[in-house]
């Protein structure tokens, strides 16, 4: 399983389970701590899609 899938699913699961918890000092949701994992997975997904598109273009031009 690609790393971006693990980061997306894991990050989303952590965000879903912690969004109702509030930190006592900052008074913000604890889900903010797990948001970077989800964002990182999204960026990895975009990078992989771009890489696949470039490979398809290269293969179609090579014929």
Helices (H), the chain: 3-18, 35-62
Per-residue burial over 38-48, b = 16 or more CB atoms within 10 Å of its CB, e = otherwise? beebeebbeee
Q: pLDDT at position 63, please?
A: 59
Instruction: Kindly list the domain boundaries of the chain, sorted by start residue.
Output: 3-62
Q: Taking the chain (63 residues) in consecutive chunks of 10 residues, what is each chunk's mean pLDDT? A: 91 95 94 95 95 93 71
């Amino acid at each position: 399983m690609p790393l971006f899938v693990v980061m997306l699913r894991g990050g989303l699961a952590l965000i879903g389970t912690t969004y109702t918890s509030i930190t006592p000092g900052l008074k913000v949701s604890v889900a903010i701590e797990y948001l970077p994992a989800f964002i990182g997975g999204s960026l990895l997904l975009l990078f992989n899609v771009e890489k696949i598109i470039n490979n398809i273009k290269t293969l179609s031009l090579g014929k």
